[in-house]
A = this chain, B = another copy of it.
C-alpha cells in the first residue's frame, strides 16, 4: 500500500489510547506498526464488503464507519456505528467466517490494516487483547439483542427516538448547538430505524415541530433530550 504524508505510526496514533490495544507494551506497538498499512477512505467508500473473505483487522485511526447489510429486498440495514479507536472485522476473523456485513466510511477516514496472522499472533501472545475483544463482542451482543427487542415491540416513533439517542451516544453532540456529530441522510436514518424513508422524514418533521429536535438540512440538534427519552419509552 502507498504511503501518504498523512500516514501516522501506531506510536503517535491518538486513537490507540481508547482502543483494544490501549494496554499492550511498546514492543508490541512497534511490531504492529511495522506490519500495519494505513488506508485513506473517502466518504461512502467501502472498507470491506458483505460475503468477502476477511484478510485482517481494521483499526479506525480517524473518521467514522457504518456496518451495513443488504436484505433480500435490497434494502440496507445499519447494524453498528464505529469511530476512531474502534476496530472492525474481528467478528468474522474469530468466527472464521465471511463478512456478514459491509463496512462503509461515513466521512473521510484513516483506517489501518493489520494482517490476520499478526492479529492472531497478538491474541496468542497477549491475553489482555483477547479479553478486550471478548468484552467488545459481549457489548455488541447486548446492544444487538436490545435492538431486536425494540424492533419486535416498539412502534416506529419510539424507534426513531431511540435511534437519535443512539446516534448521540455513538458520536456525541456539538457542545455549541447540541447537534449530532454525524450527518446521515434521511434514507440512512430509515435504514437504521427499520422503516421507509418517507416515514422517517415525517417523524423527523414531527419531532422538529414538537421542538424535540431542530432540523437544518442534514444537521439535527437535540433540543429536548428528556422528551426524546420519554418518546423512546425508555426507563434508563
Which A residues fall within an 8 A CB radius of B?
Answer: 69, 71-73, 75, 77, 79, 90-92, 94-95, 97, 100-101, 123-124, 127, 130-131, 133-135, 137-142, 144-149, 151-154, 194, 233-235
Docked Cα-Cα span, A69 to B141, in Å, equals 14
Are B149 and A69 interface neighbours, CB within 8 A? Answer: yes
Q: Is the CB of A153 within 8 A of B95?
A: no
Given the complex of chains A and B, what is the CA–CA distance between A122 and B175 in angstroms? 46
Q: Is the CB of B145 within 8 A of A100?
A: yes
Main secondary structure of the interface of A (DSSP, over half): helix
CB neighbours of A92 from chain B (8 A): 138
A149 touches B71 (CB 8 A): yes
In contact, B91 and A148 (Cβ under 8 angstroms) = no
- Contact flag A72-B142 (CB < 8 Å), given A147-B148, A194-B153: no
Q: CA of A127 to CA of B131 in the docked complex: distance in angstroms?
A: 10
Q: Are B95 and A142 in contact (CB under 8 A)?
A: yes
A79–B151 Cα distance when bound, in Å, is: 12
CA distance A136 to B225 in the complex (A): 37
Given the complex of chains A and B, what is the CA–CA distance between A128 and B53 in angstroms?
Answer: 24
Residue numbers in B under 8 Å from A145 (CB-CB): 69, 79, 100-101, 144
